[in-house]
Structure 1
Amino acid sequence: MNNRFYLLILTACTIIAGCNNSDDKKTDSAPPVVKKPVIMQPFRYHKLIEVSPGNDFDVLSWGRGSQAVGSFLILHSDSSGMKYTTTTGDLDGSIVDVYNADMDMDGNPEILIQAKATDTTNYAVIYAFEFTNGKANKLDFPKLTSAQKKGYRGSDNFYIQEGKFMREFPIYDGNGKDAKPTGAKRLLQYGLRNNEFTVQQVSKDSTLKSKTIAAPPVKTNSTTKKTSTSTQSTSSTKKKKKSDESSSTTHKKKKKKHHHSSDDN
């Protein structure tokens, strides 16, 4: 009886050990789950911009309560020069992305914060700063002109290309909920000169297509036709008259010859 009892215990332990080994194998084969870093309140957004080794910008947004408004925070760490500065400002909406550029190629980095606005007029808001010797110089980002804004309904795509700040968005036809995409896109290029933005449109879209003007009908020159007909008629008359004169002369010659023959007889 005791031998059977010990045998059952040994068998159960063997089965349990085998199950544990299989569970360990399953756990080892499962891919690790990568979790997004949790941003501690009251912060909502964080992105690190490394301009050069030892020259970093930490861009954050923060605020408790309403998600529609808040503040942005730019922490500049210049570890080589042992300088640390803070730049802050009011934020309308939420941060979408942050860009680094040197549009005027003066060696001073520009930090551009793209925020999604809460209103349906501007849609996108850009907060721009140029950092010189650790000091932040605020730059006024230009609003769209009436021509640039025609057919605009948001969905902006910002990116850096060859040192310039590019903005691309689809064009819509109509107003309100009835507006439909035309399939065309508008591309704007932003630069920086004397701490002021320059902007130019680098693509043609449906709003710039010129209307085709129909050519006026070619008028038939009836005077020329009449003159040509008259000339042909005059020429024909002259030819006929000349032919009649030639025929009359021949007839006279024959008559004269006949007269000479009668005299000889």
Structure 2
Amino acid sequence: MVLKDLLKSVFAVIAVSMVAVACSDNEKPASIEQKVVEIKARNPFPFYKSIEIKPGYYFEVLSWGKGVDSLGGFLILMSDSVKNNYKSISGEREGIITDAWNMDLDNDGNPEIYVQTLVRKNVADVNVYEFGGDFNKISFPGISSMKGYKGDDKFFVKNGDLFRSVPIVQTDSGKTSTLVKTLKYRLSGNSFSSSEAKLEE
């Protein structure tokens, strides 16, 4: 009788264990699928250009701003890893930066960073910063007061000189024509001057 009761107890334990195992198999948590959503952030710098002066010596020009593209800020970063020297200058900008380049128009050994902007739909302008240990802004002469100027002017560099082609609208006897003048710029004593030039083809 005791043996019979003992066997009943053993069978009961086995039965409970089997039910528990079956329940645990059926109640496994469902596998969770992970979905990775890639968010593409908007480039905060509409314009970026790196200008190498020599190995290890760079200027980086970039613009930023939200909302109206023609308003915002700009930044020029200088890095000289050889001398472990880093400088920067920033400011407000009016216009869209379209290009940037380096020149040494006055041949004093200090690089000048030219930052070209499109002030209005067809009107260009240039901001100039000379670097000689620190940034020094040099005022660039405008041409908006030039008689017959309607925009569409373009800057270009040729043989180490800076030029600007300027279309001039002329009216004679009721007839309208366009004459393109070419200005050549010189830099001396942190001051620009310009004169009309004729380029050889």
> How far apart are the structure 1 equivalents of 2:41 and 2:193?
36
> How far apart are the structure 2 equivalents of 1:66 and 1:95?
13
| CA apart distance, 1:39 | 9.1
| CA apart distance, 1:203 | 3.3
- The answer to whether the 8 A contact 2:155-2:162 is kept is yes
| CA apart distance, 1:118 | 2.8
- The answer to whether the 8 A contact 1:99-1:160 is kept is no
- 1:126 maps to 126
- The answer to whether the 8 A contact 2:105-2:187 is kept is yes
| CA apart distance, 1:150 | 2.1
> How far apart are the structure 2 equivalents of 1:116 and 1:200?
23
CA gap 1:64/1:129 in 2 versus in 1, 3 angstroms: same
| CA apart distance, 1:162 | 2.6
> How far apart are the structure 2 equivalents of 1:52 and 1:154?
35
Q: Which runs of 4+ in 1 moved over 6 A?
A: none
> How far apart are the structure 1 equivalents of 2:191 and 2:92?
21
> How far apart are the structure 1 equivalents of 2:196 and 2:167?
14
Q: 1:165-204 residue pairs with structure 2 within 5 A? A: 165-173=162-170, 181-182=177-178, 184-203=179-198
Alignment-mate amino acid for residue 126 of structure 2: I
- 1:141 maps to 140
- The answer to whether the 8 A contact 2:102-2:112 is kept is yes
> How far apart are the structure 2 equivalents of 1:57 and 1:181?
42
- 1:160 maps to 157
Give the length in aligned residue pairs.
Answer: 158
In structure 1, the residue corresponding to 2:46 is in which secondary structure?
A: strand
In structure 2, the residue corresponding to 1:111 is in which secondary structure?
A: strand
- 1:54 maps to 56
- The answer to whether the 8 A contact 2:106-2:186 is kept is yes
Matched, 1:80 2:75: no
TM (norm. structure 2) is: 0.71
- The answer to whether the 8 A contact 1:92-1:118 is kept is no
- The answer to whether the 8 A contact 1:95-1:113 is kept is yes
CA gap 1:118/1:80 in 2 versus in 1, 3 angstroms: same
Q: 1:22-41 residue pairs with structure 2 within 5 A? A: 40-41=42-43
- 2:37 maps to none
More helix by share: 1
- 2:7 maps to none
- The answer to whether the 8 A contact 2:124-2:154 is kept is no
> How far apart are the structure 1 equivalents of 2:188 and 2:70?
33
Report Cα offsets for 1:188-234 as digits up to 9, x if no partner: 11111011112111139xxxxxxxxxxxxxxxxxxxxxxxxxxxxxx
User: Using CA pairs below 8 Å that are at least 6 residues apart, which structure has the higher relative contact order?
Assistant: 2
Larger radius of gyration: 1
CA gap 1:112/1:181 in 2 versus in 1, 3 angstroms: farther
CA gap 1:40/1:124 in 2 versus in 1, 3 angstroms: same
- 2:21 maps to none
More strand by share: 2
State the identity %.
Answer: 39
> How far apart are the structure 1 equivalents of 2:102 and 2:177?
31
Unaligned runs of at least 5 residues, structure 2? 1-39
